[in-house]
Each structure stands twice: as C-alpha cells, then as structure tokens.
C-alpha cells in the first residue's frame, strides 16, 4: 500500500516537472549551449537549440550597453533594458539574466509578476519604494504587503511568481539593476492582462470579480486598451 502511494506520488511529481506548463530553467547538461540565432528554432519549453560548441564565439557571451538607459515606455516613464537569452545567446540553459530599469521621477512600474524567476534588485541611484504581496497561508483571501524604501546599495528580492511593484518616490531619476534566475523570466502585467486581454473577459466576470459595476469596468478597459 505504502509502495503504491510512493510510486503514484513519484509519477505525479515527474509529470508536473516534465510538463511544459510548469517549465523552469533546467540545470545545464553541458558546459555551453549557445542559442542558435534562428528565431524559429525555439523549443516551447523556455529554451533554444544549441549551436555547435566549436562555432561559439566570445560575442555569444557578451552584451554591451547596460551603461545607458533604455527608452522609457510612453505612459509609464519606466525604461527597461533586458539582457536575456534573446539578446545574449550564451545565456541559453544557464538560468540567469539581468535588466536595467530607469525610472523618471514619480514613475511607477505597475503590479506585475515574473512567472519563471525570482528577481534580485539593487539600486544604483535614486530612491525606489518597492512592494511585494505575500500570500497569507492562514487566509486565502488576504495577503501581506512587504514594502521598503530602497536607496543606493540596497538589495531586495521578489520571489518567483509573486506580485510586486516599484515606484520612484524621489524627485530625481532612479536607476537599478535586476538579476533573474531564468534566461527568460517573463512578465505578467496584472492590470493589462486582466483589462486588456484579447478576446476580452466577459463584463460579468470582471464586475463580479472586482465588485464594480459595468460602467466602471468599461472605464478600466478603456484605460488599459
Ligand atoms: C557605453 O558603453 C559603450 C560600450 O563600451 C560605449 O561605446 C559608450 O560610449 C558608453 N556610453 C556612455 C554614455 O557611457
């Protein structure tokens, strides 16, 4: 009896760990696995085909340009420059990436989560108020907000999959570096994924889900579309 229980648990665990939906970055099985540059040669499990190791070059392991900010997104005032497997093919299968985030004064990186990575932020310049929503295991309907004002040299971690935000509360620009334990951390913007999905979520679902009326839902949809 015990043995069957054990085997069943093992089989279920093996299934979930091998299922693409639950894909995490694997540990490397080889010294290097430089991604081929063919954009169609992607495997749907967060990885790319390796080029012949003999053809790898120093530039596959190199990126230049994090010394300058990216372009700020029109509405938000936050600029993201991401160095992931797409911009640095040598990251393939290594489970690591980095980004530079620049914030205009009073700009917000809205509520979001990274489905495949924890994110470790360090502030280089300015002051950023960060908030992390931690589910309350004692009450499914509540969460705890862990927040901090971060100054240069401060480090904060956002655990994989948890919702968080970053807000430049200073009156000058802020700059930060963020490291991810994924070659392709992904991002889910909470407001946009809910109010700007295609096709749209039925009004009833949003109205009931957020306890708002349909006019309010229409206004929210408009803001995020
Ligand atoms: C950033 O680094 C690149 C490459 O090293 C260099 O060419 C460029 O002048 C630098 N830009 C600034 C603003 O420091």
Q: What is the DSSP string of 77-108?
A: -EEEEEESTTT-GGGTTT--EEEEEEE-TT-E
Answer yes or no: is pLDDT of 21 > 50: no
DSSP tag of 31? S
Q: Which of 167-192 are b and which e, b meaning 16 or more Cβ less than 10 Å from the residue's Cβ? A: bbebeebbbbbbbbbbbbbebeeeee
Task: Say how many Å lie between the CA of residue 78 and the centre of ligand 1.
Answer: 21
Residues contacting ligand 1 via CB (< 6 Å)? 64, 67-68
Answer yes or no: is pLDDT of 5 > 70: no
Largest CA-CA distance found in the chain, in angstroms, rounded = 65
- In this structure, which residue's CA is closest to atom 14 in ligand 1? 67
Domain ranges for the chain, please list them.
1-186, 189-225
Task: Say how many Å lie between the CA of residue 198 and the centre of ligand 1.
Answer: 40
The tokens of 86 are what? Answer: 């797409």
Which pLDDT does position 140 carry in this prediction? 86
Residue of 66, 67, 69, 81 to test ligand 1 pocket, by largest number of atoms within 8 Å of CB:
67
Query: Average pLDDT, stretch 136-152?
Result: 94
Which pLDDT does position 225 carry in this prediction? 80
Task: Say how many Å lie between the CA of residue 171 and the centre of ligand 1.
Answer: 26
- In this structure, which residue's CA is closest to atom 13 in ligand 1? 68
The string of pLDDT tens digits covering residues 146-204 is 999 999 999 999 999 999 999 999 899 999 999 999 999 999 999 999 999 999 999 99
> How many angstroms separate the CA atoms of 28 and 91, rounded?
10
Query: Average pLDDT, stretch 120-126?
Result: 98
Q: Architecture of domain 1-186 in CATH?
A: Sandwich (2.60)
- Lowest mean per-residue pLDDT among 7-11, 29-33, 205-209: 7-11
Atom of ligand 1 lying closest to residue 67 CA = 1
Which pLDDT does position 1 carry in this prediction? 47
Dump strand ranges (E) for the chain. Answer: 42-43, 47-48, 78-83, 97-103, 108-113, 119-125, 128-135, 143-150, 155-158, 164-168, 174-180, 188-189
The total number of residues shown for the chain amounts to 225
Which pLDDT does position 48 carry in this prediction? 87
40 annotated to bind ligand: no
Its pTM stands at: 0.84
Which pLDDT does position 8 carry in this prediction? 55
Which pLDDT does position 11 carry in this prediction? 54
- In this structure, which residue's CA is closest to atom 1 in ligand 1? 67
Which pLDDT does position 19 carry in this prediction? 45
Task: Say how many Å lie between the CA of residue 62 and the centre of ligand 1.
Answer: 14
CB 196 within 8 A of CB 143: no
Query: Average pLDDT, stretch 111-115?
Result: 96
Q: Which residue bears the tokens 């230049």?
A: 64
Which pLDDT does position 7 carry in this prediction? 53
Say which residue, 105 or 13, is predicted with more confidence. 105
> How many angstroms separate the CA atoms of 39 and 108, rounded?
32
Task: Say how many Å lie between the CA of residue 81 and the centre of ligand 1.
Answer: 15
Strands 97-103 and 78-83: antiparallel
> How many angstroms separate the CA atoms of 198 and 190, rounded?
14
Which pLDDT does position 3 carry in this prediction? 55
Which pLDDT does position 6 carry in this prediction? 53
Q: What is the mean pLDDT of the chain?
A: 89
User: Reduced to 3 states, what is the DSSP secondary structure of residue 147?
Assistant: strand
């Amino acid at each position: 009896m015990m043995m069957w229980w054990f085997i069943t648990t093992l089989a279920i665990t093996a299934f979930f760990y091998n299922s693409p939906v639950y894909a995490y970055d694997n540990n490397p099985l080889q010294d290097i696995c430089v991604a081929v540059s063919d954009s169609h040669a992607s495997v749907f499990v967060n990885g790319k085909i390796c080029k012949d190791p003999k053809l790898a070059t120093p530039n596959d392991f190199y990126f230049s340009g994090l010394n300058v900010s990216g372009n700020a997104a029109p509405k938000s005032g936050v600029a993201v420059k991401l160095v992931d497997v797409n911009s640095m093919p040598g990251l393939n299968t290594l489970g690591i990436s980095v980004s530079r985030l620049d914030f205009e004064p009073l700009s917000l990186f809205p509520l979001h989560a990274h489905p495949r990575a924890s994110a470790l932020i360090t502030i280089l310049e300015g002051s950023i108020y960060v908030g992390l929503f931690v589910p309350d295991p004692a009450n499914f309907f509540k969460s705890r907000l862990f927040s901090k004002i971060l100054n240069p040299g401060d480090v904060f971690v956002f655990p994989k999959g948890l919702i968080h935000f970053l807000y430049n509360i200073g009156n000058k620009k802020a700059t930060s570096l963020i490291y991810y334990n994924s070659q392709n951390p992904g991002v889910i913007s909470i407001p946009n994924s809910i109010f700007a999905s295609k096709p749209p979520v039925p009004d009833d679902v949003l109205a009931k889900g957020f306890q708002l009326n349909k006019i309010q839902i229409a206004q929210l949809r408009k803001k995020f579309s």
